[in-house]
Structures are given as structure tokens and as C-alpha cells.
Amino acid sequence: MDSSYLMTDIDVAKFVVNGYHLLELDLPDGLNEHIAEQLDNLDSNPGDAITDVVPELWQALDHPAVQGVLLSLLGEDYEVQSHRHWHCKQPGSGHMNWHQDSTNNRDIHINRFLGLYYPTDITPDMGPTVIVPGTQFRNAPTDRMSTYSNIRGQVPLVVKAGTMAFTHYDLWHGTAANSSSIKRHMIKFLFRRTKDNAAPTWSHDPEALNHPTDWNGKREDAHNILTFGNPIGVSQSDHYKERTIRRQCWNHLMGEAT
Ligand SMILES: O=C(O)CCC(=O)C(=O)O
């Protein structure tokens, strides 16, 4: 693995805090278009077999930048799970309510997460996936969460063709309505850790956390991101609780037994 594809301390700290990481993959010319065209012409959803029906998807999964993120966050023996799903959002379809995909348990381990691959540019009217940064450590019953509406700080994944969005498995998300005349495609992949880390597996600087705290919150380093990051401006009380969970999460990634 070319170490330039590994995440940095800042990338990892941001993933821990924000719950997502975006990559624009430089795939071979025409590949995204070819994948999108095949998806456009499917008349039923092959479920987990989507990679058999559209084998070119492996070129996105096997991209070294994707492998770099998986190795960085899940360790050397990570697994690309067999579950995957084609999410085709039809023209004229409505929004999808907020929900979490995992077990909503404020997990301090990053043991599984999603990769969302978009083969076309996604415009705001095409029903983008919408995520709420930093919500991966918050629990809300799904039936209650689904009544929430316009959450402050939400981020529509209005992305370029060939984007892989890695999202924490507990991140709150939904979709906007598709008011365009275009089918919106997204393929969801699931990745898993098989072994706890004994040491960091990203491009780690042992001095990363050894910086004085910047109380002005201006300097961007892992320590300050973990300490002050507050992507949707939650209350002080919630922020303090999340800060503790983040540190535990970072420590687990660093190889500390929990
Ligand atoms: O289609 C999307 O953008 C999101 C799908 C989704 O939220 C889900 O499957 O959990």
C-alpha cells in the first residue's frame, strides 16, 4: 500500500468527530458513465448480487484510495462484506425520513461502516443522501427521529461522479426528494474490522496529540479537532458527553484495549 493513500491524524480525528469522510475517486475515463448506464437499464434490484451484474463496481471498491481509508480505519485485515445494495431514487420520489442504519448504541469502536458510491454527479434536486455530521454517538428511537424535520447542520451529499462517501454506521441520515427527471443511483457497501488494532494503521505522527490546547479553536490538529469539533453546534452538555466518547473511540483506534 502506497502510504500516500492512508488517512492522516487530522482525517481520522475528523472522521471520529464528524462521522464521515468523502473521496473523489480518479477512476478510468468513462467508467462512472458506464456503470450509471448499466444501472439505468436494470429493471429489478439484484440485491447483494449487484457486483455480479455490474462487475465494474469492483474498480471503485479496489481503488487504492478506498483501500487506504479501509486500512486506516479498520486495520489490515478489514473485510468488504458481502452485503451491498443499489439505491435507485426514482424521479418524483419523496424524501426518506431520518434514521440510523446500525444499532444506535453510542459505540466507541469503529468496527463497521458504510461506503456510498455515486456514479453520476448528484445535484440538489436529484434526491441526495442527507447526513447530519456528528450524530453517530446520539441515540433516538427511529420512530421519534423520523418526526424530526429540518435539522440544523445537515449536509446533502451533492457530490461529483465517482465519489465514495464513507459514513459511520450510526450516522443519522435520510434523503431529499428527487424532483428531477433523472434516476439517482447510489451503491451502498459495508466494511468490517476483523481484528482490534495493536497500533494505529493510518499515517500517524506519534506527536499528533502532543500540542498545547488552542482555546481559540483555530489550529487544526487532531487534539483540537477531538476537543473542540462541534459540527452542528450542539449544546455544551451534549458536546462534553460526545467529547468523552470520541476520545475512547480514538484510543481504541490507537490500539488501546477497551
Ligand atoms: O438512498 C439513499 O441516499 C440513502 C438510503 C438509506 O438511507 C438507507 O438505505 O439507509
Question: Which of 113, 175, 183 for a ligand 1 pocket mutation test, highest count of atoms within 8 Å of Cβ?
Answer: 175
pLDDT at site 212: 81
Identify the DSSP state of 135.
G
CA of 174 to the centre of ligand 1 (A): 6
Q: What is the pLDDT of residues 138-190, one digit of tens each?
A: 988 889 988 998 999 999 999 999 999 999 999 999 999 999 999 999 999 99
Which numbered atom of ligand 1 lies nearest the CA of 129? 3
Distance 223 CA to ligand 1 centre (A): 32
Query: Region 246-253: what's the mean pLDDT?
Result: 96
253 burial (CB, 10 Å; 0-12 / 13-18 / 19+) is buried
In this predicted structure, what is the pLDDT of residue 105?
76
Contacts of 114 (CB under 8 A, 6+ apart): 101, 166, 167, 169, 188, 189, 190, 191
Determine the CATH number of domain 3-192: 2.60.120.620
Answer for the pair 124, 158: CB distance below 8 angstroms, yes or no.
Answer: yes
The pLDDT value recorded for residue 258 is: 65
C-alpha atoms less than 13 angstroms from C-alpha of 240 in its C-beta half-sphere: 2
184 lines ligand 1 (CB under 6 A): no
Q: pLDDT tens digit string along 15-41?
A: 999 999 999 999 999 999 999 999 999
Rounded to two decimals, what is the model's pTM?
Answer: 0.96
For ligand 1, whether the C-beta of 96 sits within 6 Å is yes
Question: Which residue's alpha carbon is at the smallest distance from atom 6 of ligand 1?
Answer: 174
Best mutation site among 87, 120, 184 for ligand 1 pocket (most ligand atoms within 8 Å of CB): 87
Domain residue ranges in the chain:
3-192
The tens digit of pLDDT for each residue in 50-78 reads: 999 999 999 999 999 999 999 999 999 99
CB of 21 closer than 6 A to ligand 1? no
Q: What does the pLDDT look like over 190-245, one tens digit per residue?
A: 999 999 999 999 999 998 888 888 887 778 899 999 999 999 999 999 999 899 99
87 lines ligand 1 (CB under 6 A): yes
Q: Which residues contact 244 (CB under 8 A, 6 or more apart)?
A: none
Q: Is the CB of 158 under 6 A from ligand 1?
A: no
Question: In sequence order, which residues have a C-beta less than 8 Å from that of residue 203 and are 6 or more positions away?
Answer: 3, 6, 7, 8, 9, 72
The answer to whether 7 touches 15, Cβ cutoff 8 Å, is yes
